[in-house]
Amino acid sequence: MSAGGAAVTLTFGSLFSGIGGIDLGLERAGMQCKWQVELDDYCLKVLAKHWPDVPRYGDIKELDPHDLAPVDLICGGFPCQPVSIAGKRLAQADERWLWPEFFRIVRTLRPRYVLVENVPGLLSAGMGDVLGDLAADGYDAEWDCILAAAVGASHLRCRVFVVAYPTGCYVSEQVSPQSIIRERRAESRGGGSNESRPGWWLPEPPLDRMADGVPCGVVRAPLKALGNAVVPQVAEWIGRRIVDAAS
């Protein structure tokens, strides 16, 4: 809250933005996006369409963090391939292990909050680096695996979310799927399906590699972007907890 008692809008910057799943969720939670960092050409087109006035930056490895506006929160899901159980799980030995670049931006800008997303494989390959770097820089952290199904989607899509904040500044409620389920049940008892209530989203539409004779090459970029995207409903739920803690 401001000195006069009015609510202050939290700002955030987005790393590894993809098509903006986290960004969309945080905006629905009441935050304002100040900048995005993304390398993929297709994703950049999507971001430009939905956030035309937000500055965008390319390769994070070439990014000077001093060029970025200060924000209250930095979010992002760095590439999951180094830790995914579907891959070789080389973690830090994989050239796509970009957590150090994520943390380089955090260490320079020192936001009030950090939101990290990745696949569950991170827990057994690389999580020590994430938590250790954050702790060394004065951040406590909470984390949990959250299913897309916990917010009403018709698929599991389990992802790890880490919420970090300065040591001693506890976020109001643990980020946990059990908490989401309890909240949804309470809203259901209040009347109506959550999916029909404002702020709750319907499951994503079906999309296949061959639809109406369209070659898969035409839809490869959208499929890749969707496959890497974060379910906005989950980011929104976490974002609301952060907003509550900051108010």
Catalytic residues: 80
177: helix, strand or coil: helix
Place of tokens 């999916």: 195
Q: Count Cβ atoms below 10 Å from residue 163 Cβ, excluding itself.
A: 24
Instruction: List alpha helices for 29-167, DSSP H.
Output: 41-50, 99-109, 127-136
132: helix, strand or coil: helix
238 neighbors 175 (Cβ within 8 angstroms): yes
Short-list 2, 30, 205, CA closest to 12 = 30
Place of tokens 């970025």: 68
Q: What tokens were used for 102? A: 């994520």
Short-list 29, 16, 117, 33, CA closest to 69 = 33
The phi and psi torsions of 169 (rounded to 5 degrees) equal -100, 85
Give the rounded distance of the alpha carbon of 233 from its chain centre.
10
| C-alpha span between 212 and 79 (Å, rounded) | 32
